[in-house]
Structure 1
Amino acid sequence: MAGFVNRENRVPHYQKLFQEGGRHSVRQWNQTPKSKILLRPYLVILFGGFAGSMYMMGRMVLGHKTWFGKG
């Protein structure tokens, strides 16, 4: 726990980064270098889940209760 207490204060660095990015119409969640690494899996899961639920909803309307075949 000592590493957490004696850590460098990064708030001024990030505050400057976010304020600079705001002027150039870059969304706040897309300003850090880690943003693309963290955002892409989230969006794949989000839209993949949505697409899967829409696909299964269509199959349920047609009377099929499984993902594949004529179940």
Structure 2
Amino acid sequence: MAGFIFRENRVPYYQRLFQEGQKKHIRQWNQTPRSKMLLYPYYVIMFGGFAGSMYMMCRTVLGHRTWFGKD
């Protein structure tokens, strides 16, 4: 527990980081070094789910109830 109490104060670092990003017009969620590691899997899941939903919606309208092949 002592490591949590006596750790370095990171607030000034993040304040400078986010203020520099505002000057460059970078979105807040895309400013930290690990943003890409967190955002790219989210984008893949979000757009993959959307594309899969659209694909199956079109197949259902055409009368096919499975992902592949004919019903």
Provide the residue aligned with 2:58 in structure 1: 58
- Residues of 1 paired with 2:7 and 2:55: CA distance? 48
**What's the TM-score once normalised by structure 1's chain length?**
0.89
Amino acid at match of 1:4: F
Residue 2 of structure 1, CA deviation: 4.1
Provide the residue aligned with 1:17 in structure 2: 17
Residue 4 of structure 1, CA deviation: 3.1
Gaps of 5+ in 2: none
| Root-mean-square deviation over aligned CA pairs | 1.2
- Residues of 2 paired with 1:62 and 1:2: CA distance? 64
Q: Which moved more, 1:57-66 or 1:3-12?
A: 3-12
Deviating 4+ runs (over 6 angstroms): none
Gaps of 5+ in 1: none
Provide the residue aligned with 1:47 in structure 2: 47
Identical-residue share of aligned pairs (%): 75
